[in-house]
Structure 1
Amino acid sequence: MATTINRTQLFRASCLALLVTSLSFGIRAGILNDLGIQFQLDKAQLATITATAFYGFPIAVVIGGFIVDLIGMKRLLVIAFLFHLLGIVLTIFASGYWTLFISTFLIGIANGTVEAACNPLVTALYTEEKTTKLSHFHLWFPGGIVIGTLLVTLLKQFGIGWQVQVGLMLIPTAIYGYLFSKLDFPPTERVASGVSTAGMYKALLNPLFIFMLICMFGTGITELFTGQWIDVLLRNVSSNALLLLTLETGVMVVGRAFAKPILKQFSPQMVLLISTILAATGLYLLSTSTGNVIFVAAIIFGMGVCFFWPMMLGFVNTNLPKTGALGLNLMGGAGMFAVSLFMIFMGKYYDNIVKEAGGNNTLAGVKVLQATLVIPIVLIVAFAGLVLYMRSKNKTTPIADPVV
C-alpha cells in the first residue's frame, strides 16, 4: 500500500488537538466563578456541570478504545473535531444550567475521542520511545491550561466576556481538523504487530493491569480535580488563585519536556513513587499555607503531578503491550471517570461545609483539599509496592526508552 506516513506532522497535529482539550480545562477553570454568578449556580451545580466533561471523556475514550482498531484513528479524530465544534459553539450561546451541562458534556466527548485516537497514534508512530513521546505529547495538556488561564486573566483585565474566551478555542479546533483531514495514518500498534483481539482481552485481565487501572483513579483525581477547581477552592486564601494553576501547570510543561533524560535515570515506577510523594507534599502545603508560601506549594504540587498521566500510560503500554489501544484508553477513561464522581461528591461536600458555617466559605476549599490529600498518601504505599514488585521481576534496570 503506497501511503506515506509523515509522523512529524501527525505528531504535531495530535499535540494541537490535545491543546484544544487542555484549553477547555484551562478556560473553564478560569470562568467557573463567572458562570456561577451570571446563571446563579451554586457550587454543587458548578461541580455537576464541570463533571460532565470528566465523564463525557471516559465514555468517549472507552468506546473509542473498542472501535479504534476497526474504524481507524483518522475517523475517530473527525468525530472529535465535530464534537469540539458543536460543544464550543453551544457553550458560547449557553443560556443556563442545562445548555452549559450539555455543551460541557459534548466537549468532554470530544476530549475523550482525541485521546482515544492520539494515544495509540503516538505509540504507533514512536514504538522505540513510547513513554518519552507520550510525555512530550501530554505536555500540551498542562501547556494548554497555562495558555488558557493566562488568556482568561488577560482578557478579564480588558473586560472581555467569557463567551469570547471560549470562542478562541475555535481557532486551534479548525486547524487540527484541517491537518488531520490531509494526512495518512498508520494502523494501531496492536494490529501492526499481529496481536489478536482475544489476546488483547486476555492481557487486560493481567493483575498488573488491573492494579494500574485502580491506581489511575487516584492519580487522575489528584491531578485533575485539584487543577480544575483550584480557583474556586483557594479563592479565599489567595487573590491570585488562578495564577496558582498557571504556575502548577507551567512546572508540568517543563517537566514533561525533560522526560527523556529523566527516564534514562529512573524507571517509570520509581518516577511514579517520587511523583506521588511530591504531590502529597504539595497538596498538604496548598491546604495549610498562606501568603507567598502558597506559590512554592503550587510548584511542588506541579512537580508531583507532572508525570502522572503519561507515565501511567507509558508503563502499561511498555510492560503490557498486548493490551494495545484499548488498554491505553481504559486507563485514560478510568482516570477521568474517577474525577467526575469525585468532583460531584466534593461539590456537595463544599456546599455542606458552607451551610454548616452559616454561609461562611473561608475554610471550605481548604477542607476539600485536605480530604483529597488522603488519595496521594494511599498512592505512596501502592507505588512503593509496585517498585518492589518490579524489582522482584528482575526489573532493576530502569525501563527507559532507548536513545535513538
Structure 2
Amino acid sequence: MDKTEAGDGYNRRSLFWICTLLVFTAALSFSIRTGASGAIKAALLDGPAPLHSGEMIAAALGNAFLGFALSLLAISPLLDMIGAKRVVLFSSACFILGPGLILLSPEMSGIDAVYRMLNIGMVVCGLGWGAMEASVNPVTAALYPDDKTHRLNTLHAWWPAGLIVGGLLSVLLLSQLELPWQATVALIPVPAIACALFALRQPFPETESSAMGVPFTQMIAEPFKRPSFWIFPAIMFLTASAELAPGSWVDIALTQTVGMPGILVLVYVSAIMFVMRHFAGALEKRFSDIGLLFFSTVPAAIGLYGLSIASSPLTALLAATLWAFGVCFLWPTMLAAASRRFPRGGSWSIGIVGFAGAMAIYFVLPQIGAIYDRAKLEKAGGESAFAALQPGPELGQVLAYAAEQSFQAIAVIPLVLFVIFGAVWVAERRSRAITRTNSVEPAE
C-alpha cells in the first residue's frame, strides 16, 4: 500500500485518483455546460429575449462560478470539522442534482421560470465544483507536502482531460448526431456516481495545518496576520479571468466566426494543458513558481488577442496554442505557491485564493457577454437592424466583430499580470539574496 509519509495508513495512490476523478467530473460538467451553452441559448433564450440572450447565457454560466465561490469559501475553513470524505461525497451529489435541475428548466412555464431553474441548476453545479476545490487541493497538499507544485499540476491536468472528453462529447452528440442539448447534460452524473462509490471505501487524511497542530482559530487568523498573503487572492482574480472566463466563452463567440465549433478550440487547448501540466515540477525547479507564472503571461496575452481576430480554423488553433501555453500553469501553480508560503493557513488559505478566482469569473463572464451584446448591436446599427438580420455573411460579420471586441477586452489582463509577477519575482529573489548574505559568517 502506498501510504503517507506519516504512516497513517491512508492509501495515497487511491486517494490521489479519487481527487483526480473528482477534478475530471467538475471539468466534464464545465465543458458540457460550455459546449451546450450555444444550444441552450438558442433553444431557451433567443426566442423570448433575442437582444439580451448573450448576456443572459453568460450570466447563467457565471452563476456556476458563484456557487463555486460560495461553497469553496464556506467549506475550506471547516474541512477538517466536516471531513474531506463528506465534502467529496457532497461534491459528487451536486454533480448529480445540478444537471437534473438544468434538464428540468425547459419544462417550466414562462421565460422567467425557465431562466430561474436554469440558473439554480448552474449554481448547484458550481457548489459541487467549489466543494471539489475545497477538498482535493488540501488533501493533495497533505499527501505530498514536499512536492506540491508537481502534484497539484498533475492533479489539475485532469481538468483539461475532463474538458477534452466533455468537448468531444458535445461535438459528437450535438453537431454530428444532432441530438438535443439534454443528451450531453445527462452524461455529467456518470463519473460523479463512480467517484462517490470510490470515495466511500477510503479513509481521508487531515489537512496540512491540522497535521502541524495549528488550532482552528490560528488557522483562520493566519492570512490576516500575514499581509503579504493577500497579494495571492488579488493575483488569482486576474489569472482566473485570463484562463477560465475565455474558456467559458469560446463556444458562443467563435463557433460562427472561425468555421468550426468553438468547443473544439477548448478541446485543443485542453490537450496541450493536459500534457504541459505534467512538466510543471521540472519548470518550477528551473524558474521558481513565480518565475514560471511570469513567463506564462506573454503567450497568454498574444493568444487571447489572436483569438479575437481569428477568422479560420487555422488562425484560431494558432492563437489557441499560444493561449494554452500561457494559461496552463496558472491555477494550480497559484494554489501551490500560496500553500508553500502559508502552510499554517491550511485549507483556509488555499480556499481564499480559489474563492478569489471563482469570484473573478462570476463578475467577469457576464461583462464579456455584455460587451459581446453591445458590440453586435453597434456593428449592426442598432437593435432593430440586428433583429432584422438573417443567417448569412452579414450576420457573420456582425458576430465576428462582437467576438473580437469581447476577447480583446480580456487580452489586457495577462499584460497586467506580466508586471505584477515580474515585480513579485524580483522582490523575492532580492529577499533571498539578502537572506543568504546575512547568513554568511563574516571572515575573521
TM bucket by the smaller chain?
over 0.9
2:177 aligned to which of 158, 166, 186: 158
The answer to which of 206-215 and 144-153 deviates more is 206-215
Q: For 1:354 and 1:370, how far apart are their aligned partners in 2?
A: 14
Q: For 1:260 and 1:110, how far apart are their aligned partners in 2?
A: 28
CA contact (8 A) 1:234 1:366 kept: no
Q: Which residue of 1 aligns with 2:305?
A: 284
Q: Which residue of 1 aligns with 2:442?
A: none
Q: Which residue of 2 aligns with 1:272?
A: 293
Matched, 1:211 2:249: no
- Where do residues 293-372 of structure 1 align in structure 2 (5 Å cutoff)? 293-358=315-380, 359=386, 360-372=398-410
Counterpart amino acid of residue 262 in structure 1: L
TM score, norm. by length of structure 2:
0.86
Q: How far is 1:279 from its partner? A: 0.5
Pick closer, same or farther for the CA change 1:243–1:2 going to 2, 3 Å. Answer: closer
Counterpart amino acid of residue 416 in structure 2: V
Question: CA-to-partner distance for each residue in 1:58-112, whole Å, 9 max, x for gaps?
Answer: 1000001121122221111122122221112222232131221111110000110
1:31 aligned to which of 7, 32, 36: 36
Matched, 1:226 2:237: no
Counterpart amino acid of residue 176 in structure 1: C
Work out the number of aligned pairs and report it.
Answer: 397
Pick closer, same or farther for the CA change 1:395–1:85 going to 2, 3 Å. Answer: farther
Question: CA-to-partner distance for each residue in 1:112-149, whole Å, 9 max, x for gaps?
Answer: 00110111000011112111110011111111111110
Q: For 1:254 and 1:354, how far apart are their aligned partners in 2?
A: 37
1:78 aligned to which of 84, 89, 99: 89
- Where do residues 230-249 of structure 1 align in structure 2 (5 Å cutoff)? 230-240=250-260, 241-249=262-270
Q: Which has the higher contact order (CA 8 A, sep 6+)?
A: 1
Q: Which residue of 1 aligns with 2:416?
A: 378
Question: CA-to-partner distance for each residue in 1:277-320, whole Å, 9 max, x for gaps?
Answer: 11111112212333312211101100100000010000011112
The answer to which of 235-244 and 120-129 deviates more is 235-244
2:273 aligned to which of 252, 274, 280: 252
Q: Which residue of 1 aligns with 2:71?
A: 60
Matched, 1:11 2:16: yes
Counterpart amino acid of residue 119 in structure 1: N
Q: Which residue of 2 aligns with 1:179?
A: 198
Question: CA-to-partner distance for each residue in 1:146-190, whole Å, 9 max, x for gaps?
Answer: 111011111220122221211112211111001111100111110
Matched, 1:121 2:103: no
CA contact (8 A) 1:390 1:396 kept: no
Q: Please give the secondary structure, in 2, of the residue aligned with 1:5.
A: coil
The answer to which of 190-199 and 54-63 deviates more is 190-199
Q: Which residue of 2 aligns with 1:392?
A: 430
- Where do residues 89-128 of structure 1 align in structure 2 (5 Å cutoff)? 89-95=100-106, 96-128=114-146
1:194 aligned to which of 192, 204, 213: 213
CA contact (8 A) 1:60 1:109 kept: yes
Q: For 1:68 and 1:253, how far apart are their aligned partners in 2?
A: 28
Q: Which has the larger radius of gyration?
A: 2
CA contact (8 A) 2:12 2:143 kept: yes
RMSD, matched Cα: 1.8
TM score, norm. by length of structure 1:
0.94
Question: CA-to-partner distance for each residue in 1:203-229, whole Å, 9 max, x for gaps?
Answer: 313232111110100000110010110
Gaps of 5+ in 1: 398-404
Question: CA-to-partner distance for each residue in 1:297-348, whole Å, 9 max, x for gaps?
Answer: 1011001000000100000111121221011111111101111111112212
CA contact (8 A) 2:371 2:405 kept: no
Q: For 1:300 and 1:361, how far apart are their aligned partners in 2?
A: 23
Q: Please give the secondary structure, in 1, of the residue aligned with 2:258.
A: coil
Q: For 1:61 and 1:15, how far apart are their aligned partners in 2?
A: 17
Pick closer, same or farther for the CA change 1:347–1:113 going to 2, 3 Å. Answer: same
Q: For 1:4 and 1:337, how far apart are their aligned partners in 2?
A: 37
Q: For 2:363 and 2:434, how far apart are their aligned partners in 1?
A: 37
Counterpart amino acid of residue 361 in structure 2: V
The answer to which of 78-87 and 60-69 deviates more is 78-87
